[in-house]
Copies of this chain bind each other. A is one copy, B any other.
Amino acid sequence: MTQDEFSLIRQWTSRSSGQHGDGLSVGIGDDAAVFSLSPGMEVVACCDAMVETVHFLRETMNPSDIGYKAVMSNISDVAAMGGLPRFALISVAVSPGWSADDCQQIYEGIYDACEAYGVRVIGGDTVSSPAALTLSVTLLGEVEKGRALRRSAARPGQLVFVTGQVGGSAAGLDLLLRSAKKGEAVAEEWRPLAWFHQRPQAQVAAGRILAASPWAGALNDVSDGLASELSEIAEASGVRLVIDERSIPVANITRAYAIETDQDPLGWALYGGEDYQLVGTLEAAEVKEAELRFAEKGIPFTVIGRVEAGEPSVWMDREQGRMKIAKAGYNHFGGAEAGKG
């Protein structure tokens, strides 16, 4: 990039987001940003990097989608702690294949995601790179002291739940890859699937309900697929999780697209990821209270299983019997492993 292009970037990054009165004492333009926490809160901090060809392809993501999703995956991590996202620091390493206009769109996507969640960009770095656009986002949020929701808090007797619907992002990726291969635009009827993949929404409101409740257990966000997220909870908590295949919430359009393309929507739900829903556990006696709290906020909430004492592992009850769910790898999922329980 030229110096002129860097000046343009400075202009785009002057777009403001976040709320006034959010405790920011020093914003962009000094050596570092400075902000205050609200009384009684702790800092929640996470960092994720996205690399061209490794985490995204230009064929399936517009530049603005790339910026949006790099931020959203981090907001989702804050949501998975029960936190409120507040500030972002963003480094972008731009390689020669990306024009100034592409970069502007990346920043527009970054600010779209931040504005939608009241997050203010308070720092970062835009640098050149010889190859492969790389975005690294740090998200800072806050949570009431001692209330952060951890993966290790699942206890036998609790129920397993998930918010929203899962598998849609993986279906959308499949759709986008097929369309790109044919050199065609995505068919109108399947557009929502592309949206699930390109513009997922982190479940901050759900996380906040859970952080405020006395009945919440473990929590994780669905970034790598239900199988991986549930395994992390099982391992961190030292428990066995048993889920019911029929209760996993998959959208009708995702099921219809699976039928149309002769694929298994359950595979997308378990191993697809990037749905950015929340999956966790809660006290069984309080499930009606939980349903009410989520209904009040219009957040779909589904009980999909239960927590049992036992070797850390994840199992799924199906019509054919109980099967063990491998942590990752779509090819591990099939008849051969079914019926072990």
| Residues of A near any B CB (own CB < 8 A) | 25-26, 29-37, 42-55, 76-78, 80-81, 83, 87, 89-91, 93, 122-125, 127-132, 134, 136, 138-141, 143, 145-146, 148, 150-152, 219-221, 236
Contact = CB atoms under 8 A, between A and B. Distances in A.
A46 B90 CA distance: 10
Given A125-B136, A130-B53, A132-B130, A32 B48 contact: no
A146 B25 contact: yes
20 contacts: A25-B42, A25-B148, A26-B150, A30-B81, A31-B46, A31-B78, A31-B81, A31-B219, A31-B220, A32-B77, A33-B44, A33-B46, A36-B42, A36-B43, A46-B89, A48-B125, A49-B136, A51-B93, A93-B132, A138-B138
A45 B151 contact: no
A29 B235 CA distance: 11
Interface pairs A-B: 5 shortest CB-CB:
A32-B46, A131-B131, A136-B136, A47-B89, A31-B80
B49 A125 contact: yes
B33 A45 contact: yes
Contacts of A32: 44-46, 77-78, 80-81, 83, 139, 141
Best-surrounded residue of A36, A45, A130 (most CB of chain B within 10 A) = A45
A54 B90 contact: no
A35 to B, nearest CB: 5
A1 B140 CA distance: 29
Contacts of A220: 31
A145 B30 contact: no
Which applies to chain A's interface (DSSP): helix, strand, loop or mixed?
Answer: strand
Contacts of A127: 49-51, 54-55
Contacts of A148: 25-26, 34
B131 A47 contact: no
A91 B53 contact: no
A45 B134 contact: no
A49 to B, nearest CB: 4
B80 A45 contact: no
A47 B123 contact: yes
Given A30-B151, A51-B93, 16 more contacts: A25-B42, A30-B81, A31-B78, A31-B220, A32-B77, A32-B141, A34-B143, A34-B148, A36-B145, A43-B43, A43-B140, A45-B140, A46-B123, A55-B127, A130-B131, A136-B136
A89 B236 CA distance: 22
Contacts of A48: 91, 125
Contact of A34 (B30, B34, B43, B236): B43
Contacts of A134: 93, 129, 134, 136
Given A45-B140, A55-B127, A148-B34, A29 B236 contact: yes
B91 A122 contact: no
